[in-house]
């Protein structure tokens, strides 16, 4: 793949659900007991360090078949706290790439958050804030979930607004939980509308684990309006492709979406070229009934020592 290497005009933006990146300490305010040494998963420091090593090895390689750099931006979900994110950026696999990060604690009951890594040499951080998603359970009580993270900065000198998402899961059923993801989509659109009120030409990159496919109602009808483009939708046309499996079927929940202005060729501006799923063979289970699926950390209660139950995704932007 080295023959594809180009000059320093191509940059990568990535997203990765890192699957339960918990430290080994019990947080009394969240349901993280399983991921402690005495918990059901027997999660310990050795296993934690192995996961950090594996995740950073993946992040360091994303997009490097066409870009001279690892990703300028990496959205992350399922991180427990700022310390685990700091352990990622300080690992020897990433340390030399000058990553900073943005993280806020979310009110999620499991204690998992979203975060953004950014290469300080490629992205100038300006500001950030979080937005709650207001959901209710069947009893009308507040259903706490992950906040949406908004980060504003200059990507190679071009102002962008990055929104990192982790929408409600399908655990109680896809149809039953769909309204929650529609509310999340509408929340994102409101954030974007407010951004565009201040700057009508504002460029936004929406990334996340949406727990819905590009063709799902929440994405197709409520998030991707005529002013946005979802490159992941075209990837669905390929057979047996996705970022995770459930009941032996592929889904493409992990997506990166952006303004159509990124499709325009203009001197000195970032232009989208193409999108990829990072699904190398060494990231897959190599035998058994789950063969070909992402090589995860656990299968049920059994430790496997893998990476994540999701493949990462990334898009290339070229500076005109």
pLDDT of residue 5: 53
Indicate whether 238 pLDDT > 80: no
Residue 286 domain boundaries = 2-319
Per the structure block, which two tokens stand in for 307? 């990476």
Calpha distance 306→298 (Å, rounded): 7
pLDDT average, residue stretch 290-307: 95
Q: Which residues have a Cβ under 8 Å from the Cβ of 147 and sit 6 or more positions away?
A: 104, 106, 107, 113, 114, 130, 131, 132, 133
Per the structure block, which two tokens stand in for 100? 């900073």
Q: Which residues have a Cβ under 8 Å from the Cβ of 52 and sit 6 or more positions away?
A: 21, 84, 87, 88, 91
Q: For residue 136, what is the domain's CATH number?
A: 3.60.10.10
Indicate whether 239 pLDDT > 90: no
pLDDT tens digits along 102-134: 999 999 999 999 999 999 999 999 999 999 999
pLDDT-derived band at 284 (thresholds 50, 70, 90) equals very high
- Share the mean pLDDT of the chain: 94
Domain count for the chain: 1
pLDDT tens digits along 29-77: 999 999 999 999 999 999 999 999 999 999 999 999 999 999 999 999 9
**Token pair 């994405």: residue:** 219
Can you list the alpha helix ranges (DSSP code H) found in the chain? 45-59, 82-90, 92-95, 174-198, 217-220, 232-235
DSSP codes, 158-172 = EEEEEEEEEPPPSTT
pTM here is: 0.96
pLDDT of residue 240: 67
Calpha distance 93→54 (Å, rounded): 9
């Amino acid at each position: 793949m080295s023959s594809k290497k180009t000059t320093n005009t191509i940059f990568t933006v990535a997203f990765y659900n890192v699957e339960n990146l918990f430290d080994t300490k019990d947080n009394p305010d969240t349901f993280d007991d399983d991921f402690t040494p005495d918990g059901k998963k027997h999660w310990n420091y050795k296993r934690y360090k192995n996961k950090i090593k594996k995740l950073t090895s993946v992040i360091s390689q994303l997009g490097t078949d066409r870009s001279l750099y690892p990703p300028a931006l990496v959205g992350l979900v399922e991180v427990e706290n700022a310390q685990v994110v700091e352990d990622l950026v300080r690992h020897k696999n990433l340390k030399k790439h000058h990553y900073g990060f943005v993280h806020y604690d979310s009110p999620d009951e499991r204690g998992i958050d979203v975060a953004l890594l950014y290469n300080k040499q490629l992205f100038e951080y300006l500001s950030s804030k979080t937005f709650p998603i207001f959901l209710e359970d069947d009893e009308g009580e507040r259903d706490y979930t992950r906040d949406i993270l908004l980060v504003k900065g200059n990507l190679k000198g071009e102002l962008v607004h990055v929104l990192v998402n982790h929408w409600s899961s399908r655990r109680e059923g896809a149809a039953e939980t769909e309204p929650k993801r529609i509310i999340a989509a509408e929340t994102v659109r409101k954030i974007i509308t407010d951004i565009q009120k201040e700057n009508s030409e504002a460029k936004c990159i929406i990334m996340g684990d949406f727990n819905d496919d590009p063709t799902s109602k929440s994405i197709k009808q409520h998030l991707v309006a005529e002013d946005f483009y979802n490159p992941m939708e075209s990837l669905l046309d390929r057979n047996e492709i996705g970022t995770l499996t459930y009941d032996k079927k592929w889904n493409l929940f992990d997506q990166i979406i952006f303004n159509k202005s990124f499709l325009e060729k203009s001197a000195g501006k970032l232009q989208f070229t193409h999108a990829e799923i990072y699904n190398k063979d060494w990231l897959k289970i190599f035998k058994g009934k789950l063969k070909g699926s992402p090589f995860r950390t656990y299968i049920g209660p059994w430790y496997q020592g893998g990476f994540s139950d999701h493949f990462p995704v990334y898009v290339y932007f070229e500076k005109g």
